Structure 1
Amino acid sequence: ADRLVLAEVEYGGAETEVVVSGPPSLLPLRGQSDLHLRVAFALESVRLWDPYSEEPRIRKLKKARIRGIPSRAMVCSEKELGLSDEHEDIIYLPDDAPVGTPLVEYLGDVVLEFDIKGPFAHLYSVIGIAREVAALLDVPLKRDALEVLERYPAELTPTPDFLALEITDPDLCPRYSAAFIRGVKVEPSPFWMQMRLRRAGMRPINNIVDITNYVMLELGQPLHAFDYHLLRPRPALSDAEGPGDDRPAIIVRRARPGEQMMTLDGELRTFDEEMLLITDGGGPVAVAGVMGGLESEVTETTSDVLLESANFYFLNIRRTSRLLGLTSDASQRFGRRVDPELTVRAAARAAHLMAELAGGTVEPVIGDLYPGRQPQRVLEFDPAYAARVLGIEIPTDEIVRILTSLEFQIAESANRRVGKYQVSVPSHRLDVTRPIDLVEEVGRVWGYDRFPTTLLRDELPPQRANLRLEGAERVRDLLVGCGLDEVITYSLVNIEDERKLRPQGPPPDPASYLRVRNPLSAERAYLRQTLLPSLLHTARENLRFLDRLAIFEIGAVYLPVEGQALPNEPRRLAIVMTGPREARSWLAGQDRTPIEFYDLKGVVEALLAGLGLEGTFEPGEHPAFHPGRCAQVSVGGESIGVMGELHPLVREAFDLPAQPVCALEFDLDRLLAAWSAPSRMVPISIHPPVYEDLAVVVEEGMPALRVRDLIAKTGAPLVRSVVLFDVYRGEQVGAGRKSLAYR
């Protein structure tokens, strides 16, 4: 009973209604009369939201007896009416609210929810939506409403008397504006403002903070209010550098590594050197574009307010918000590029509201640093080009009307003779940067539903073969036909994996690799210069479940070029094969002969034959491959890569099974350059072929390939093909010698 209040309510009925209630704000008023408080009131049988249910549930108000007193009505909280999650206290309406009026009529508002896709920050505001609706409906915006939103102060200055302002990173903060409001009284904001904020999904806090959120909803410019007296001036400098400044300081700078600050949500945040901070003379006071700091927040004791209205580089805000795991209404807007011309307009609007609703006095000067001012964007619009893109001819006067309704300005000195127009883009349309963007604006406002269904009438553009793409697809098809599976691995690698390919050679120099500035992990810090490590990792993971593997990858590697910002990105082909030669099946029987060098060589020969090329295989050396089981492969006299069996140390470094692992890496661009070279067609010989067998005894160290090339060169043009079919060693040829038989 000590927490209940017996209230007499007038609601427009014949008699007053007695209500038993227990809101905290009514307890101190017990025993008083003639209060005339306006509240939200519900009678028996009304359906309300249940404030004590975890799941959304509606209940019907029923007559009850509380402490022996019958009660068939109640005064309502915001949660019971579905306005917000607040249910600790009841709703108090303004003193001029007419008694007996249905609440829905008194509130008299409709909430429209828009699902906005893409980086269109200009649509994250009431005025932005109003512009769109006005253009779509071909009606003007209300000028009286615009005049309220366009109040400007008398003067802008980069050096206001009330603040020492500095931007150390203009690339990340193109503009910073600050207004000063003295003598404010911090209290709850008016009911109408609270209701509008709640309908927009925001929780009212106090009149100062609510005004910053309200103006953000109006104009789309995020604002932040500091307690002016909690901002610290610059510390005194040495005699050589000059005296300190008594004014509070605002310095926009990058964070120092490990710098920390408590944000408004009560979390201690740690920053890296790429994050942008708002600092005063003593340290951070806000995370730029994301959230303010707890130490400088506006409280009930605040009397003077410094109002921040700034513009920040959108990619930096996105990164900061993501890395901190901190998303706010401000970061959502700044992450989509906010118009820098809004800062002063929003600051002036909010300052006037603070003077009106918080009793403050606005400083007639706004501090404004604008190092990132951009020139006016002017685009050329060609109606003929628009007609070709859209497929219909929209009348010129309609094009002018549409662009004008979207606040684009068409120059009066447009070149009528050539039929083109110079169009000035409004500052808030940061997404319009090319003539095709203007065509899109005209098309969407004209209405896609008004486009007639037509057949293609334009000429087809000339078709050109894309040998780069076709060649890669041809290689894929040939390798898949040989029984290999394609894989795709990350381009970002750990440089330690590439060192494993050189077990007995010098390790790679990290300085010769491109490193990602902000890697997600140490395993993804460098851009690869070879495909093999990633392919071997894939093989290791799959060999946990399979006993046979044959995979390939086609991808780019990244080779830095001295003096150039971007690297060369040649394409490479890599293959890894290991395990039994035949897949396990009843046809293969018990034959578990492992894949060896010549199996991989057969795949390469099939690939070259499918491309219509002839390759040569010569003994080669590579730190990743087994000595004596490595070959250099050439096509048309130019080396395309190396193949062989992995060195045992490399195999162990990648934790692969103790069995032969064959691999190769080719320069795909060189291979396809030979494939795409013009071929010379020759007539088929009218004479039947004649096969001759030739045996040559040579020293043991003589390569068979060298003998083959000598026979082919000597016998040209009559000799068309030379194939080694037998090698003999024995007493007949003598020790240290061998017999090579060619056909």
Structure 2
Amino acid sequence: VLGERPPLPRAVLVGASRMKVPLSWLRDHVDVALPVPELVERLTLAGLEVGGVQLVGVEAPPGLVVREESPRPVWHRDKILIAEVLEVRKHPDADRLSLVTVNYGKEPHQLVTGATNIKVGDRGQKVIVALSGSVLIDGHADTAVLKQLKPTKIRGVPSDAMVCSAKELGLADDHEGIIILEDDAPVGMPLVDFMGDVVLEIDILPNMARCLSIIGIAREVAALTGKELRQAQPRAFPASAGAPVVGVAIADATLCSRYSGTLIREVRPGPSPGWMQRRLQLAGMRPISNVVDITNYVMLEWGQPLHAFDMDKLMARAGGKQPTIAVRPARPGEKLTTLDGNQRELTPDHLLIADAAGPIALAGVMGGAETEVSAATRNVLLEAASFNPISIRRTARAFDLPSEASYRFSRGVHPELVSSAALRAAELLCQHAGGKVAGSVDAYPAPLPAQVVSLPLAEVERSLGIDIDADEASRILRALEFRVEQAEPGTLRVTTPPHRVDIQDGPADLIEELARIHGYDRLPATLLRDQLPRQRTNRPLVLEERVRDILAGCGLQEVMTYTLTTPEREQPLLPGPREYVQLANPVSTERSALRQTVLGSVLEIAALNLRHRDRVCLFEVGLVYLPVQGERLPNEQRRLGVVLAGPRGQEFWESPEKPPAMDFFDLKGVLATLFAELHLDGISYKPARAAWLHPGRSAEILTGTVSLGCFGQLHPALNDRYELGRRTVLVAELDVEALLAAVPERYVVEPVPEFPPVRQDIALVVDESLPAAQVEEQIKAGGGELLRGVRLFDVYRGPNLPAGKKSLAFALTYQSLERTLTDKDVAKVHQKIVGRLEKLLGARLRA
């Protein structure tokens, strides 16, 4: 059966974070004149891949293909409008329904609603009205189904319009209450003009962490389109508001280079403004309260995470005195209950925000429950800081607490952003939470100096293959907010802006910026001007691919699995104590160590597939890592893992019986095909003693005295461990390096024989403990050049044989390349073989 390896899945951006960017928010900071499809293409070519586009109430722009997981309604301009509630009366014939009179710019209009968040006597609320003919999501359906609104009678009262919930407009799943807009929403305005939007879903790679903000994306758009970036600085507060409000002690400036605290008094927690809630929702965040929403809003806008503490709770912990905030590693035995209600056991690897009473937050990851902001909060301490990326990444992974804040900190946040973000958040808290700035503190023990990089324009041309003159290079870099000066003819002196922490010493990073903004698609494709250098054949790589092709040709499918595992997951296959290479910062607790066998990974994939089908034939060529005593680094080896399970073939109309299950010899046949295709000589087998194999249905593979690995039936005790049921599972694990080392550099092709073969059978009675392979080896040794083949075709145990004996029957093929063999020629060799077997193995011919 011929098979073909399936293609690899579509490439994914490893480590990318998807950021949702509403165009309405982006337009606050840059004029976006490009059509959406062109903007998507320009951003993608500049390294900001737009992985999706979400339409909110608007029609798809021409040329843009949008793949929606569920249907979304289009808010037609003359059908879905903003209206004001004039009167709410009780329905005459239904307790749960109300009659609502609204004004949407024309004459008053009455409709029926069952909304629970407006009641009799209400008036003045701004709501969203859909008129007859509107197409909305059916609010009563379990799934998103579009439905056209038609005039009807509801319990005897005509109604040809409706007030809309978030679900009906395709904004959320909430259908219990209608949307209540802010008081200044303009009556009669089409909803699409007020709330319609296009949201770009941009995959931000780790090296583009500066774009994890609306302003960061706007800066890129401004540079790509030649528009001006609008980045209004938040207003400064009076000097009297700068009085220190807390003490700050930073234990290690390499872990926290800057820490700012701003005290805002007399805040009134409550809902944030409607426009802010909508922007947060479009950006993928859930509105909570004005204080929390403002910290999230500023993080999304500026890229600087913030955290709000309840100042009164800090004061209470300090005994009514001015608290001192310490940024330090945790002490052994310390614990912290985080905002999610879980108590965390801390180690010195975790960076903390603490006061004199103990920990109050996991720095850059999550706040503590004892100092959280609540509805009763009146005074807020606003934290803005710059933490060490490695420390934050380690803490977030240790507790499995990924968040928008920890993701940004773990990619690097420039300390110069701290002051701007703190001022912006304070400004919004004063505007929308009634707060007053009462003081601030800013500890900045380790200012990050700007990088000054020399950029030779000749190096730009050498790297990109095009001539970008000084004026164009300066324009591009200044658009990205670099400071550019002419150092000398042909060289620019470039100073990095405060938001860039990724520029290293040397021109390469700056050349990349020039290429991105100039356009990778505009770089010429240039062929080498010289002859291609001679290529050396990588024999191990070629042979490894050959192994893959052979196994695929046998009908097996290749899998690729993680090299990371845990010792506990491998313990069934590798019992006993073992030293593993452990990761210092594991991605998860399930991927904390380097594996020592590929078979466990393939068995897990087989179990997953066998839940949905009854047959699997899988293999993997992958790396294992074996610690070497006294050595710092492990020994990296390539292993081949094979798993077969299920019926031998598919059911066929001509054969009514169900195909039998694959067994030991099916797997042996696959491996024998592999060895034959690789032209391996001297392959032999002996009983295997691997703990993961069935003791009576397994074998070790040898070439000479070198072991290639083991194969056979998986030990039945491991079937339950891997959730494989009661089926027979065949497995093999081979050392790829040893296998490829046995492949000959050259092999001889024999001519097709001209003379006929002669077959003679021989049945031998031997000891039960004698392996058939040993008998076959002696037959070959005695047969010489005339013996062309030996095949075991029968094994007999039973009556007519002495106790402790068995009968082995072999088919022997004799053939000469020079002449036709006579009976005498064959008899002579045959007798020699029999004599050798009797003498060396104590065998006798079976009568």
The answer to whether the superposition gives a TM-score over 0.5 is: yes
Shift of the 562–232 alpha-carbon distance from structure 1 to 2, 3 Å rule, reads farther
Q: CA deviation at 1:399?
A: 1.5
Aligned partners of 1:589 and 1:202: how far apart in 2? 59
Partner of 2:513: 441
1:122 aligns with 2:210: yes
Partner of 2:545: 473
1:671 aligns with 2:742: no
Aligned partners of 2:610 and 2:272: how far apart in 1? 67
Letter in 1 for 2:515: G
Partner of 1:231: 314
1:403 aligns with 2:477: yes
Q: Is the contact made by 1:574 and 1:665 (CA closer than 8 Å) also made in structure 2? A: yes
1:341 aligns with 2:416: yes
Q: Is the contact made by 2:241 and 2:437 (CA closer than 8 Å) also made in structure 1? A: no
Aligned partners of 2:416 and 2:360: how far apart in 1? 24
Any stretches of 5+ residues in structure 1 without a counterpart? 31-37, 63-73, 95-99, 237-243
Aligned partners of 2:580 and 2:130: how far apart in 1? 80
Partner of 1:308: 383
Any stretches of 5+ residues in structure 2 without a counterpart? 1-85, 91-101, 110-114, 153-161, 791-811, 813-829
Shift of the 134–492 alpha-carbon distance from structure 1 to 2, 3 Å rule, reads closer
Partner of 1:558: 625
Aligned partners of 2:534 and 2:138: how far apart in 1? 70
Q: Secondary structure at the match of 2:500?
A: coil
| 1:628-655 deviation digits (Å, cap 9, x = unpaired) | 98776555x67242446569xx455546
Aligned partners of 2:363 and 2:127: how far apart in 1? 44
Shift of the 182–421 alpha-carbon distance from structure 1 to 2, 3 Å rule, reads same
| From 268, 291, 299, the counterpart of 2:341 | 268
1:509 aligns with 2:614: no
Q: Secondary structure at the match of 2:202?
A: coil
Q: Secondary structure at the match of 1:477?
A: helix
Aligned partners of 2:727 and 2:302: how far apart in 1? 69
Q: Is the contact made by 1:152 and 1:344 (CA closer than 8 Å) also made in structure 2? A: no
| 1:687-730 deviation digits (Å, cap 9, x = unpaired) | x9xx9x9x9xxx99996799799999xx9xxx899987579668
Shift of the 604–53 alpha-carbon distance from structure 1 to 2, 3 Å rule, reads closer
TM-score (norm 1): 0.64
Shift of the 169–627 alpha-carbon distance from structure 1 to 2, 3 Å rule, reads farther
Partner of 2:56: none
Deviates more, 1:306-315 or 1:385-394: 385-394
- Aligned pairs (5 A) from 1:76-475: 91-93=182-184, 113-119=199-205, 120-141=208-229, 146=232, 148-149=233-234, 151=236, 162-166=246-250, 171=255, 175-181=258-264, 212-213=295-296, 215-232=298-315, 247-251=323-327, 253=329, 261=337, 263=339, 268-271=341-344, 273=346, 278-282=353-357, 285-286=360-361, 288-289=363-364, 292=367, 295-298=370-373, 304-312=379-387, 330=405, 333-334=408-409, 337-351=412-426, 362=437, 366-368=441-443, 370=445, 376-377=450-451, 381=455, 383-384=457-458, 386-387=460-461, 390-410=464-484, 412-413=486-487, 416=490, 421=492, 423-430=494-501, 432=503, 437-447=509-519, 456=527, 463-475=535-547
Aligned partners of 1:216 and 1:473: how far apart in 2? 48
Partner of 2:638: 571
| 1:136-175 deviation digits (Å, cap 9, x = unpaired) | 3435546xx64x3485998999x9662344457964x554
Q: Is the contact made by 2:241 and 2:438 (CA closer than 8 Å) also made in structure 1? A: no
Q: CA deviation at 1:474?
A: 0.8
Q: CA deviation at 1:231?
A: 0.8
Q: Is the contact made by 1:75 and 1:90 (CA closer than 8 Å) also made in structure 2? A: no
Shift of the 567–344 alpha-carbon distance from structure 1 to 2, 3 Å rule, reads farther
Q: CA deviation at 1:402?
A: 0.7
Letter in 2 for 1:475: V
Deviates more, 1:583-592 or 1:360-369: 583-592
Aligned partners of 1:318 and 1:664: how far apart in 2? 39
Q: CA deviation at 1:320?
A: 7.5
Aligned partners of 1:355 and 1:162: how far apart in 2? 20
Shift of the 24–547 alpha-carbon distance from structure 1 to 2, 3 Å rule, reads closer
Q: CA deviation at 1:310?
A: 1.9
Q: Is the contact made by 2:565 and 2:592 (CA closer than 8 Å) also made in structure 1? A: yes
Q: Is the contact made by 1:48 and 1:61 (CA closer than 8 Å) also made in structure 2? A: no
Letter in 1 for 2:211: L
Letter in 1 for 2:640: L
Aligned partners of 2:413 and 2:314: how far apart in 1? 26
| 1:472-491 deviation digits (Å, cap 9, x = unpaired) | 11112234445655455664
| 1:273-305 deviation digits (Å, cap 9, x = unpaired) | 477654444455455445555653556765543
Shift of the 156–121 alpha-carbon distance from structure 1 to 2, 3 Å rule, reads farther
Partner of 1:239: none
Q: Secondary structure at the match of 2:305?
A: coil
| 1:341-379 deviation digits (Å, cap 9, x = unpaired) | 2113322444466678878665665232556x6564455
Q: Secondary structure at the match of 1:444?
A: helix
Q: CA deviation at 1:51?
A: 13
Q: Secondary structure at the match of 2:323?
A: coil
| 1:484-536 deviation digits (Å, cap 9, x = unpaired) | 5545566455656755557xxxx4313356579758677x7654323445556
Q: Is the contact made by 2:470 and 2:492 (CA closer than 8 Å) also made in structure 1? A: no
Shift of the 436–153 alpha-carbon distance from structure 1 to 2, 3 Å rule, reads farther
Aligned partners of 1:683 and 1:552: how far apart in 2? 32
Shift of the 661–179 alpha-carbon distance from structure 1 to 2, 3 Å rule, reads closer
Aligned partners of 2:178 and 2:727: how far apart in 1? 71
Q: Is the contact made by 1:640 and 1:668 (CA closer than 8 Å) also made in structure 2? A: no
Q: CA deviation at 1:404?
A: 2.1
Higher strand share: 2
Q: Is the contact made by 1:556 and 1:571 (CA closer than 8 Å) also made in structure 2? A: yes
Shift of the 646–285 alpha-carbon distance from structure 1 to 2, 3 Å rule, reads same
Q: Give the aligned length.
A: 679
Q: Is the contact made by 1:187 and 1:206 (CA closer than 8 Å) also made in structure 2? A: yes
Aligned partners of 1:79 and 1:536: how far apart in 2? 44
Q: Secondary structure at the match of 1:399?
A: helix
Letter in 2 for 1:340: P
Aligned partners of 1:47 and 1:593: how far apart in 2? 63
Q: Is the contact made by 1:408 and 1:425 (CA closer than 8 Å) also made in structure 2? A: yes
Q: Secondary structure at the match of 2:443?
A: strand
Q: Is the contact made by 2:336 and 2:345 (CA closer than 8 Å) also made in structure 1? A: no
Aligned partners of 1:594 and 1:112: how far apart in 2? 56
Q: Is the contact made by 1:557 and 1:569 (CA closer than 8 Å) also made in structure 2? A: yes
Q: Percent of aligned pairs with the same residue?
A: 38
Deviates more, 1:443-452 or 1:583-592: 583-592
Aligned partners of 1:445 and 1:217: how far apart in 2? 23
Shift of the 42–664 alpha-carbon distance from structure 1 to 2, 3 Å rule, reads closer
Q: Is the contact made by 1:224 and 1:307 (CA closer than 8 Å) also made in structure 2? A: yes
Shift of the 436–12 alpha-carbon distance from structure 1 to 2, 3 Å rule, reads same
Aligned partners of 2:312 and 2:449: how far apart in 1? 37
Aligned partners of 1:322 and 1:512: how far apart in 2? 20
Q: Is the contact made by 2:336 and 2:360 (CA closer than 8 Å) also made in structure 1? A: no
Aligned partners of 2:631 and 2:120: how far apart in 1? 75
